[in-house]
Structure formats: C-alpha cells, structure tokens
Structure 1
Amino acid sequence: MIDLGPHAVFIIWAYIGVAAAVVGLIVWTVVSGWRVEGRIAELEAQGVRRRAEKAS
C-alpha cells in the first residue's frame, strides 16, 4: 500500500466521505427521477398534456 504518512487516517476518511457523498447524490437523483416519472404518469392519466405538444 502507498505510504500516506502521518495523515493516512484523515486521507482515508476524506476519500470515504467523498465516496459517500457521491453515492448519496446518485441515489437522490435516481429516486427523484422515479418520483418525477410517477407524477408525470399521474398527470397523463388525468389527461394533462404538455403545452408545447401539438394536438393531432
């Protein structure tokens, strides 16, 4: 293993913290996407459409 010197514990915990933050952001984004998709499905079931969508 690479010698990180006397600050090895801090460096390792810093990497763990950053990894946890990145995983948390990914999970948050995925869950938010699921919620938005669910809300869109609800609105479409009610007949609500996008304003920009052309009626055919």
Structure 2
Amino acid sequence: MMPDLGKYAGVVLSSYVVALGLIVALVAVSIWRARRVKAALEQVEKRSKRDG
C-alpha cells in the first residue's frame, strides 16, 4: 500500500511525522486554551450572579 519513495523515503516520512506532530500540538493547545477560557467565563458568570 505504501508508494515507493526511493531515496527520498526518509525525508518524506519525517516530513509527515513533523506535520502530524504539529497538528496534534495545535489541537492540544486549542483544547487546553478552551478549557482555560471556559473556566474563566464560569468564574465571571458566578461573580455576576452573586453581585446581582
């Protein structure tokens, strides 16, 4: 199923690994940031409900 990449196999495969790693890192950072923002928004909402 894998195409014959010849002498460039190492370069091509390492590029795929780097690209996949960057995508995973971006998703992880996005999830982490979304959780932080959600927690901050919940704090603001609690404070606004408490203060009236």
Q: CA deviation at 1:32?
A: 0.5
Query: RMSD of aligned C-alpha atoms?
Result: 1.2
Query: Normalised by the size of structure 1, how large is the TM-score?
Result: 0.80
- Structure of higher RCO (CA pairs closer than 8 Å, 6+ residues apart): 2
Q: Map Cα deviations across residues 4-55 of structure 1 (whole Å, 9 max, x no partner).
A: 010100100000000000010001111100000000001111117xxxxxxx
Instruction: List runs of 5+ in structure 2 lacking aligned partners.
Output: none
Query: Normalised by the size of structure 2, how large is the TM-score?
Result: 0.85
Structure 2 equivalent of residue 36 of structure 1: 37
Aligned-residue sequence identity (percent) comes to 23
Q: Report the count of equivalent residues.
A: 48
| Partner amino acid, structure 2, of 1:6 | K
Q: Distance in 2 between matches of 1:28 and 1:36?
A: 12
Q: Distance in 2 between matches of 1:3 and 1:41?
A: 53
Q: Distance in 2 between matches of 1:39 and 1:2?
A: 49
Moved over 2 A (4+): none
